[in-house]
């Protein structure tokens, strides 16, 4: 992949609390950029909820890749190159 090539990415986010899978296909130059764009799309479709008070134990469990709403990146894959 040369500089300036964009990749089509397929991202899937999962929320155990909502029992929902959010799927998005988007174009970005890197996986990190795709993740940022994917999270924006996710929170547009599923707005953040007001956080409830959590114990220190619950907060420690969330550190493992989940955001405050409980969404995790379930899968990311290249879907093709764009020019």
Which residue, 26, 49, 22, 46, is CA-closest to 37? 26
Q: How many CB atoms lie within 10 A of CB 55?
A: 8
Confidence tier at 16 by pLDDT (50, 70, 90): confident
Q: Where are the domains of the chain?
A: 6-82
**Structure tokens given for 21:** 């899978």
For the chain, the straight-line distance linking the first and the last C-alpha, in angstroms and rounded, comes to 10
Dump pLDDT digits (tens) for 32-77: 999 999 999 999 999 877 666 667 666 666 655 555 677 899 999 9
Region class of 4: left (phi > 0), else alpha (psi between -120 and 50), else beta: left
């Amino acid at each position: 992949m040369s500089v300036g090539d964009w990749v089509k990415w397929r991202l899937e986010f999962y929320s155990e609390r909502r029992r929902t899978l959010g799927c998005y296909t988007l174009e970005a130059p890197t996986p990190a950029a795709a993740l940022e764009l994917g999270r924006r799309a996710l929170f547009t479709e599923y707005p953040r909820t007001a956080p409830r008070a959590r114990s220190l134990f619950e907060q420690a469990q969330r550190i493992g890749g989940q955001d405050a709403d409980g969404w995790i990146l379930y899968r990311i894959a290249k879907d093709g190159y764009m020019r």
